[in-house]
Chain A
Amino acid sequence: MSDKPLLQADGIAKRFGTVVALRSANLQVEPGEIHALLGANGAGKSTLVKALSGVHRPDAGSIRVNGELFDVRNPRIAAEAGLATVFQDPALIPDLTVEENLRLTNLPSEVVHDWLERMDLADVDFEAQIRDLPLPTLRLLDLARALARDPSLLMLDEITAALTADQAEHVFAVMEDRKSRGKSVLFITHRLGEVLRMCDRATVLRDGQDVEVCVPGEVGEAGLVQAMLGEVAKATPDESSALASLDEAPVALETIELRSGDEVRGVSFSLRAGEVLGVAALEDQGQDRLFELLSGDRRADAGEIILADGEALDARSPYDAVRKGVVLVPSDRLHALLPKRPIRENLTTPLYNKITKWFSLAGDEKQRVDSAIDRLSIDTRAGKQAGRLSGGNQQKVVVGRWLASGFRVLLCFDPTRGIDVGTKQQIYHLLRELADGGAAVLLYTSELAEIPLVCDRVLVLYDGEIVDEQPAVNATEQALLTAAHGISEEVA
Chain B
Amino acid sequence: MSLESREEMVPDISQPRWTIWLSDHPLVVLGSVLVVLVLVTGVIEPNYLSVSGLRNTVLLAAPLGIMAGAQTILMLTGGIDLSVGMIATAAAYVAANQSPNGALIAITLGLLVGVAAGTVNGIGVGVFQVNPLIMTLAMSSILIGLFTALSFTVLQGSTTVNDFISTLGGGSFLGNRIPYNALVWTGVSLLIVYGLRYTGFGRLLYALGDNPVATRLAGVRSWQVLIVAYALAGLLAALAGILLAGRTGAVDLQLAVNFLLPSVAAAVIGGTSIFGGIGTYSGTVLGALILGVLATMLTFLNAGQAIQQIVYGSIVLGLAWLYARVTGVS
Contacts and interface: CB of A to CB of B under 8 A. Distances in A.
A359 B194 CA distance: 10
Nearest to A358: B201
B217 A336 contact: yes
Contacts of B14: 15, 18, 20
6 contacts: A323-B219, A334-B213, A340-B277, A349-B203, A349-B220, A358-B199
Contact of A338 (B23, B210, B216, B330): B210
B223 to A, nearest CB: 10
B17 to A, nearest CB: 10
B204 interface: yes
B10 A318 contact: no
Contacts of A56: 330
A425 interface: no
Contacts of B277: 338, 340-341
A319 B10 contact: no
Contacts of B216: 317-318
Given A321-B219, A401-B218, A24 B9 contact: yes
A13 B10 CA distance: 10
A134 interface: no
A295 B329 CA distance: 34
A355 interface: yes
A8 B277 CA distance: 41
A340 B9 CA distance: 33
Given A318-B219, A319-B220, A401-B218, A359 B10 contact: no
Nearest to A345: B203
A328 B216 CA distance: 11
A322 interface: yes
B218 to A, nearest CB: 4
B200 interface: yes
The bracket for how many chain B residues form the interface is: 35 or more
B198 A211 contact: no
A59 interface: yes
9 cross-chain pairs, A with B, having the tightest CB-CB distances, nearest first: A17-B328, A322-B219, A352-B200, A358-B201, A353-B219, A338-B210, A340-B277, A349-B218, A350-B218
Contacts of A152: none
A349 B6 contact: no
Nearest to A350: B218
A23 interface: yes
Contacts of A357: 200
Interface of A is mostly: mixed
A317 B20 CA distance: 41
Contacts of A438: none
Contacts of A69: none
Contacts of B15: 15, 17-18
A348 interface: yes
B101 interface: no
A318 B216 CA distance: 7
A24 B327 CA distance: 22
A410 B224 CA distance: 26
A406 to B, nearest CB: 12
B211 A60 contact: no
A297 B328 CA distance: 35
A16 B198 contact: no
Name the residue in B23, B204, B273 with the highest tally of chain A Cβ atoms < 10 Å from its Cβ: B204
A349 B201 contact: no
A352 B13 contact: no
A361 B220 contact: no
Interface in A272-294: none
A181 interface: no
A381 interface: no
Interface of A: 11, 13, 15-18, 20, 23-24, 56, 59-60, 209, 211, 295, 297, 317-319, 321-323, 327-328, 330, 334-341, 345, 348-353, 355, 357-362, 401
A360 B199 contact: yes
A339 B215 CA distance: 12
Contacts of B281: none
Contacts of B206: 338, 341, 345
Given A17-B327, A323-B219, A348-B203, A360 B11 contact: no
B217 A361 contact: no
Contacts of A351: 200
Nearest to A336: B214
A355 B219 CA distance: 12
Interface in B173-205: 198-201, 203-204
B207 A338 contact: yes
Contact of B204 (A297, A327, A337, A358): A358
A344 to B, nearest CB: 10
A349 B207 contact: yes
Interface string B2-18: 01001001110111000
Nearest to B20: A18
Contacts of A211: 3, 6
A361 B199 contact: yes
B224 A23 contact: no
A355 B13 CA distance: 47
B219 A20 contact: no
Given A17-B328, A338-B206, 11 more contacts: A15-B14, A15-B328, A20-B13, A20-B14, A24-B11, A211-B6, A319-B219, A321-B219, A345-B203, A345-B207, A359-B200
Given A321-B219, A322-B218, A352-B220, A337 B211 contact: yes
Nearest to A323: B219
A17 B23 contact: yes
A319 B23 CA distance: 36
B143 interface: no
A348 B327 CA distance: 24
Contacts of A340: 210, 273, 277-278
B219 A359 contact: no
Contact of A353 (B20, B221, B228, B278): B221
Interface string B209-243: 01101111111110010001000000000000000
B23 A18 contact: yes
Contacts of A362: 200
A209 B218 CA distance: 37
A23 B13 contact: yes
Nearest to A320: B219
Given A323-B219, A352-B203, A13 B11 contact: yes
Nearest to A401: B218
A322 B217 CA distance: 8
Interface string B271-287: 00100011000000000
A328 B199 contact: no
A337 B13 contact: no
A341 B219 contact: no
B304 to A, nearest CB: 40
